[in-house]
Amino acid sequence: MNTKDAIKQTYGFSQMVLNGYLGDFEDADLMQRPGEGCNHIAWQLGHLISSEGNLLNMAVPDAAAELPDGFVENHAKENAGSDDASQFCTKAEYLELFQKVQAATFAALDSLSDDDLDKPGPEGMRNFCPTVGSLFILISTHVMMHVGQIVPIRRRLDKPFVM
């Protein structure tokens, strides 16, 4: 297995976990917050999608997938407290957007050489992502930083154990 394949497999594992946790969710379930002061799942999904585009553009300028008008703003930090479901997407829309951003991420990754992956990461993130390759690792694992917040909602909604 080479570096690109390992990144893609890690990305796929993260998405498999996310899809498993969301599989039996209804759209309204996405507006649930795992606890007081936490962001609801809809906002988190949008954050993950928007962040992937931002991170990808840091690695490969203008490589990110185009998102619907207003999407980034609705999922910005300033809108995390909104409980207005009309500002957020359906589960199907989020999952479709994840596929779209994944295609852009994989296309950008495939366009890079191993030497490109070893180049220094974006200056403002070098302490966290010292190389372009490590930025792609962050992209592939970012979902895993959030999926644990779905579990308390699953328990509260009496959903079955998934993983």
CATH number of the domain bearing residue 15: 1.20.120.450
Considering the domain boundaries, does residue 125 fall inside one?
Answer: yes
Considering the domain boundaries, does residue 161 fall inside one?
Answer: no
Q: How many domains are there within the chain?
A: 1
pLDDT (mean) for 58-83: 95
Q: Give 82-124 pLDDT, tens digit per residue.
A: 999 999 999 999 999 999 999 999 999 999 999 999 999 999 9
Considering the domain boundaries, does residue 147 fall inside one?
Answer: yes
The residue that leads in pLDDT, 162 or 89, is 89
Which alpha helices (DSSP H) does 29-145 contain, by range?
41-59, 71-74, 91-110, 114-117, 132-141
pLDDT (mean) for 64-72: 96
Considering the domain boundaries, does residue 163 fall inside one?
Answer: no
pLDDT in the model for residue 4: 96
Which is nearest to 75 in space by CA: 97, 44, 104?
44
Considering the domain boundaries, does residue 85 fall inside one?
Answer: yes
Query: What does the mean pLDDT of the chain come to?
Result: 96
The model's pTM is 0.95
How far apart, in Å, are the Cα atoms of 62 and each of 7, 66, 91, 151?
20, 10, 26, 35
Decide: 21 and 160 in contact? Cβ < 8 Å. no
pLDDT in the model for residue 80: 93
pLDDT in the model for residue 95: 97
**Position 163 pLDDT exceeds 80:** no
Considering the domain boundaries, does residue 84 fall inside one?
Answer: yes
Residue type at position 103: A
pLDDT in the model for residue 90: 97
pLDDT (mean) for 137-161: 95
Considering the domain boundaries, does residue 149 fall inside one?
Answer: yes
Phi, psi dihedral angles at 120 (to 5 degrees) = -60, 140
Range of the domain at 140: 3-156
Considering the domain boundaries, does residue 162 fall inside one?
Answer: no
